Every structure is written in C-alpha cells, then in structure tokens.
Amino acid sequence: MGELAGSQATAAAPKTQAEPFVPLWGIALDAAVLAALIVTIARNSVYGLDFFHVFAGALWISIDLLMGFIIGPTIRRLDVPARMVFSKGLMTKMMVVVPTAVICTLTSGWQLARADGLFTTPYPPQHGWVVAALIVVALLAIIAYVYLEPANIVVLTELRKPEPNGPLIGRMMQRFLYAAGILGVLQLSMIVIMVRLATW
Amino acid sequence: MVTTPPPYAGDTTRSPIVACIVGTIISCILAAGIIIVYIPAEAPMWGPIMWVCIAAVLTAATIVLILRKKSFARQRFFTVAQWVFLYILVLSGMAEYVMVFDGMRGKTLVVMTIILLLFLVNIPMLWGFSVARHERTS
C-alpha cells in the first residue's frame, strides 16, 4: 500500500520547485502579529491579551481538530496524486498560520493566567486544573515538535525533489495524520480545562 | 507500476540521535515544569538543575553523534536547521521577554534561559536531522 502510494506520488509530484516553503507575505504578516503581541504584553492590556488568547487559541484548536478529524480522514481517501497537490498547498499555508498562532496563544495565555491570579489559586482543586493545562501543553509540544512538524518538513522537502521518494512520503503523511489526530484529542481535553477555568 | 527507490546512504532506521534529542526535550520540559508549578513562589532548584544537566549531556552527545556521522547530507541538515533556528529563536525570544517582563530574576531566570537555549539548539537539530537522514547521498 505504502509502495503503491509511493509510486503514484513519484509520478504525480511536480518537478523541482524553487519557491520558498513560507511565502514572503506570510513572514511579513507573522512579524506584524508578533509585534502587536509584544506591544500588548508591554502595555499589560487585559483586553488585548484576552483577544490574542481567544483568537489565536480558537484558530489553533480549530486547525488541529479540523486536521485530525475532518481533513486527515478525507485526505486518506483521496488518490495519491490529488493528495500530493492538496497537501503541498495546505502545508505551505499551515506554516504561515500555525507557528504564530501557537506563540500568540501560549504567550498571551501565560500573561492572562498571571493577571487573573491563576498561579496563586489554592492547590486542590483549582490549581490542579492549571497544572493539567500545563501538562496538556507539554504533551502538545512534544508531539508537535518531535513527530508532526518533522514529518511535515520531510514531505515538503521530498515534494520539491525531481524524484521524490514515494514510500517515504506515504510513511511521513501517515505519521502526520496520526499525530494530528492525537493533537485533536488533546485539544478537546484543553477545551474542557479552559472552560472549567473560565467559569470557576 | 511500483518502483523501489535506491537505498539511502543516510540513516533511515531508528537513530540514537533522535533518542538523545527526544530525551533532551523531555528533560527540558520536566525542568521547566517543576519551576512553573511552583510559580509565584521560588521552586527548589535541585530538580530543575538535575534535569537541565541531563539535557545538556544529551545535547553534547547529539552533537558528537551528528559530527561523527559518515555519509550524512550536512548541507541539507544546515539548510533546514537554520530556518527552524530562526523560528525557535522568535519563540524563545518571546518566552524570555515575558519572563523578564514578569520580574523573574536570579537562579530561576538562569535555569529557564538555559532551557530555552537547549530548545534553540535541539529543535533545529531534530528537524534538520529528520530531513537529512533521508537524503540519498552518494
């Protein structure tokens, strides 16, 4: 199955491309968003921090859920040439949006937690929910940095070669989709924790 | 038709380099976790320092293993690693900014900065190695 996918991928892959992984407009957009986040933190604006945390967090969680439970299973049912074309466009956009959404969510969330006094709450039971949130974030970081993103970059790199290694692309895409599914489940647990903390 | 690609000269099986980097990342997260759980109070530092030392030893081992690797696509490794380094530099920079802004000082700040530096070295190495190990070097 993997080898079949591989040979289809090799046949379908566009020939060597020189354009960058991340488009320049994406880098400029990310830089502007990060500059706005730095100003918001420096001004200690609770409204701004809330905005960044809710907006970026919703974006991050939605992307993970969409990838894990809707786009992932759909891609698996596509034939490999279509999968390659779809993945290349998707992954490029994801590299613009996701890293910045993650930075904004975590940084503004940390500042909000301090501002709301969540780190000084009594240990049982409320502080336990804060610790649970930190544990889920740690698991998200490990899975994203160790499994998901390296697989993403291997696929993008292979697709830019004149003769991509099909079986490798098939293996890495499977890894990417499984990791996205696990992240989706973790994100669901994060929603439960965040709603609990917000309504305490 | 199914085609079999040529065998890789690089490492395509389970690698001690990946194991070392994953060990480093987990050690760093444990070290930071101990400090964070105690916030706003000062955490006892022996635990985080122990985990940071383990992470530092594993990082040194990773660098040695990569340097000693033969038939390795070093150019591809550095091409990927330099861009990932830039991304992690922004991420670590934001974290450092927030910690200093929030008044973290002393030993805690030093340990957290070392943790960020270890991330800054290890994540680019992991992503760069993940790509370079699959390169068909001649």
Q: Which amino acid is at A145?
A: Y
Do the Cβ atoms of B126 and B18 come closer than 8 Å?
yes
SS3 B21: helix
Q: Does A165 touch chain B (CB under 8 A)?
A: yes
Q: Does A147 touch chain B (CB under 8 A)?
A: no
Q: Does A153 touch chain B (CB under 8 A)?
A: yes
pLDDT of residue A42: 92
Do the Cβ atoms of A17 and A181 come closer than 8 Å?
no
Query: How far, in Å, CA of A179 to CA of A172, rounded?
Result: 10
Query: How far, in Å, CA of A92 to CA of A84, rounded?
Result: 12
- Nearest by Cα to A126 from A58, A199, A53, A189: A199
What's the total number of domains in chain A? 1
Q: pTM score, two decimals?
A: 0.82
| Per-residue pLDDT at A12 exceeds 60 | no
Segments forming the whole domain that contains residue A166? 2-198
User: What's the complex ipTM?
Assistant: 0.80
Angle at B85 between CA B80 and CA B91, to 5 degrees: 135
Give the tens place of pLDDT for each residue, A147-194. Answer: 888 888 888 888 777 777 777 887 887 888 788 888 888 988 999 998
Instruction: State the number of CA atoms in the 13 A half-sphere of A143 facing the CB.
Output: 20
Query: How far, in Å, CA of B47 to CA of B45, rounded?
Result: 6
- Do B98 and A111 make contact, defined as CB atoms within 8 angstroms? yes
Distance from CA of A168 to the nearest CA of B (A): 8
Query: How far, in Å, CA of B120 to CA of A145, rounded?
Result: 12
Do the Cβ atoms of A154 and B132 come closer than 8 Å?
no
Distance from CA of A24 to the nearest CA of B (A): 14
From chain B, the residues in CB contact with A157 under 8 A are 76, 80, 131
A28: left (phi over 0), alpha (psi -120 to 50) or beta: alpha
Give the tens place of pLDDT for each residue, A123-155. Answer: 667 778 888 888 898 898 888 888 888 888 888
Query: How far, in Å, CA of A155 to CA of B127, rounded?
Result: 12
| Helices A166-198 and A80-115, axial angle in degrees (round to 10) | 30
Within 18-37 of B, beta carbons closer than 8 Å to A belong to 21-22, 25-26, 29, 33, 36-37
Distance from CA of B68 to the nearest CA of A (A): 22
Looking at chain A, how many residues does it have?
A: 200
- Nearest by Cα to A116 from A133, A102, A99: A133
- pLDDT per residue, tens digit, chain B (138 aa), is 445 555 454 556 678 999 999 999 999 999 998 988 887 778 899 999 999 999 999 999 999 999 998 888 889 899 999 989 988 998 899 899 988 988 888 899 999 999 999 999 999 999 999 999 888 765
